[in-house]
């Protein structure tokens, strides 16, 4: 992947790691809320929550990325993102994150392609690595984070509720 322009992202933390999503995919940032549980759902699917009269599936992003789940704190947030659905429509998802750090712009020369990351993170979920001084931020690709099968499963659990 080659990014030739600056990119604006929402930077958030999961444990000690920093991740980002393109600001164009994040519709809003909400305080944490408890989800309505759905029976027999995958462990990363927390359930449904109401966002302005619409049922939005909530995902524990820590669990989705293979991390241990964590208790919600005062800094826990829900990033409501817009994803392209499998039928071409837009699907809103609520991603539960430990904390939102900032909205930042990274210049093109601070953006590196996704390296082979071994077992820690699945590199197909990481679109790029963003350099912030001596630190790194992993830019997630929401479409690759949730494959078509996972999105279909999420929709079926949401409809079943």
DSSP 144-161: HHS-HHHHHHHHHHHHH-
Contact 129, 116 (CB under 8 A): no
Q: Is the pLDDT of residue 35 over 70?
A: yes
Q: Choose between 57 and 158: higher pLDDT.
A: 57
Rg, Å, the chain Cα set: 15
Coil, helix or strand for 161?
Answer: coil
Q: Is the pLDDT of residue 24 over 80?
A: yes
Question: Residue 155: what pLDDT?
Answer: 52
Instruction: Label the pairing between strands 77-84 and 26-31.
Output: antiparallel
Question: Residue 96: what pLDDT?
Answer: 97
Question: Residue 118: what pLDDT?
Answer: 54
Q: Is the pLDDT of residue 115 over 80?
A: no
Burial class (CB in 10 A: 0-12, 13-18, 19+), 33: middle
Q: Choose between 100 and 153: higher pLDDT.
A: 100
**pLDDT tier for residue 161 given thresholds of 50, 70 and 90:** very low
Q: What is the pLDDT of residues 75-97, one digit of tens each?
A: 999 999 998 766 777 889 999 99
pLDDT above 70 covers a percentage of the chain that reads: 81
Question: Residue 123: what pLDDT?
Answer: 60
**pLDDT tier for residue 134 given thresholds of 50, 70 and 90:** confident
Residue 26 is encoded by which pair of tokens? Answer: 């994040």
Average pLDDT over residues 32-60: 90
The whole-angstrom distance between residue 120's C-alpha and the CA centroid of its chain comes to 17
**pLDDT tier for residue 147 given thresholds of 50, 70 and 90:** low
Question: Residue 60: what pLDDT?
Answer: 95
Q: Choose between 38 and 105: higher pLDDT.
A: 105
Q: Is the pLDDT of residue 113 over 90?
A: no
């Amino acid at each position: 992947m080659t990014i030739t322009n600056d990119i604006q992202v929402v930077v958030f933390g999961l444990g000690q790691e920093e991740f980002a999503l393109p600001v164009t995919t994040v519709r809003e940032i909400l305080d944490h809320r408890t989800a309505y549980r759905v029976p027999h759902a995958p462990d990363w699917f927390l359930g449904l929550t109401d966002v302005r009269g619409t049922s939005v599936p909530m995902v524990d992003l820590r669990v989705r990325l293979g991390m241990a789940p964590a208790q919600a704190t005062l800094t826990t947030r829900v990033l409501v993102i817009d994803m392209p659905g499998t039928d071409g429509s837009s699907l809103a998802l609520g991603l539960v994150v430990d904390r939102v750090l900032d909205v930042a712009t990274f210049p093109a020369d601070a953006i590196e392609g996704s390296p082979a990351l071994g077992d820690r993170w699945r590199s197909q979920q990481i679109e790029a690595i963003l350099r912030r001084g001596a630190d790194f931020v992993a830019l997630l690709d929401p479409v690759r984070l949730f494959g078509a099968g996972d999105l279909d499963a999420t929709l079926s659990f949401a409809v079943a509720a």
